[in-house]
A and B are shown apart, each in its own frame.
Chain A
Amino acid sequence: MSLAQLELDLEVFSGPFDLLLTLVLREEVDLLEVELADVVVAYLDHLEARGELDLEAVTEFLVLIAALLELKSRLMLPREDEELVDLEPQEAAEELLQRMLEAQRYRGAACHLHERLAAEEGVRYRSAPLPPELRRGDAPEVPAGAYHPARLSRSLGGLLRLPPRLDLRHLAVPRVSVAERLSHLRALLRRGGASFDEAVRGADRVTVAVTLFALLELHKQGEATWEQEGPFGDIAIMPVAAAPPPRAVAS
């Protein structure tokens, strides 16, 4: 299904998806007011009604909805973890802008090619073998030594070269392991327990997540248990069969 056919009926907008995109980019519709989840649901309904899955179209939808989500999250999220954002907001916006402009440029070019091909509809070229008397490439006519053998060794030599290793320094490599966080938690447990906030004080998001894995592991092993008084409250971690420590003040 072409995305252009996806008709939406949302609170703030009703019409084709393509138009919604255009209006959002022109700021005629406030993205913050668009329930993207409803767009997804509408799309899923369409897919179901159609009963077949066009992977190209689905991919296109995923890309567009992801771009909208990225844009919307930029609009609504207070602030991301400093460590995960190495671009200044302005740089990030500029990069996003350049990417959107570039993609738009080639989408335009793609439409042009579509039209060109359609305009050529009905023009056919002949494809027929040459009459026998004109067929070329008969062995006796081919000159010996037309190609240089060095071309072969050069090609093979080129294939032997290992490509240079990719420079991955710009990627954040997780340096924290479950084993390391396990021993950290066990040290805290030996002192009678701790709150989760204490266990991850000053840590980055990845470390927080790995610490949670370690905690689950300790629970599975029967070494630790925990208590959380309410949603989003701090988690008190304690050794199994030990009394909970005084609850830490939630930050």
Chain B
Amino acid sequence: MSIKVRYFASLKESIGRSEDTLSFTPLLTVSDVWKLANPTIALSENILVAVNMDYVNYDFIVSDDDIVAFFPPVTGG
């Protein structure tokens, strides 16, 4: 019963971690996941979120075993 949280690029550097593992509880949104993992840091509006590698909104409700990824705007190509 857990959720894996991943961070990339500048966000990974500013948080100082690339990964967290949280206990799963029902009805957690992506915002809740962020608050649990980073209680002292506000979730900046330009941060993108993917659950299981698909983009979602902050109010998306996560399931057990989901991988939630937070990252800055993408800059490939």
**Do A and B form a real pair?**
no
